[in-house]
Amino acid sequence: MEQLHMAARAVLEDAQQDEELHQVPCNMQKQPGRIYHLYQKQGSVEKYFSMLAPNEWGYQEKKEEFLGSYRLEYDRSWTPVAEMDRKDEEVARLQQILQRGHAGLFLVL
């Protein structure tokens, strides 16, 4: 029972984080499969997404704080870059299960 409670809590926390990230301003059309970099303006609570990673900005005064990089998934969830390999493996396993299920349907028919 405790495992179910923990799993439900994790799902709710992920959904809350996804919602918060969807509320962050972005001056471009967000497209699934792309990586977006989250920044916060220095001395402010204002956050924004950029396509530029911290090392791609070139020389400039540090005017914003880098908070992390996220990939927008096709289900509109956000995956931190550090967790992308795990997410990709999970999606690949699900696709294999679905393919096996479809093969089984054809055998039944």
Q: How far apart are CA 32 and CA 70, in angstroms?
A: 11
**pLDDT tens digits, 45-103:** 899 999 999 888 776 656 788 999 999 999 999 999 999 999 889 888 888 888 876 65
pLDDT band at 108; cut points 50, 70, 90? very low
Query: What are the residue ranges spanned by the domains of the chain?
Result: 1-81
Q: How far apart are CA 105 and CA 44, in angstroms?
A: 56
Measured CA distances, 76 to 20, 68, 87, 90, 103 (Å): 12, 17, 14, 16, 28
What's the pLDDT at 109?
45
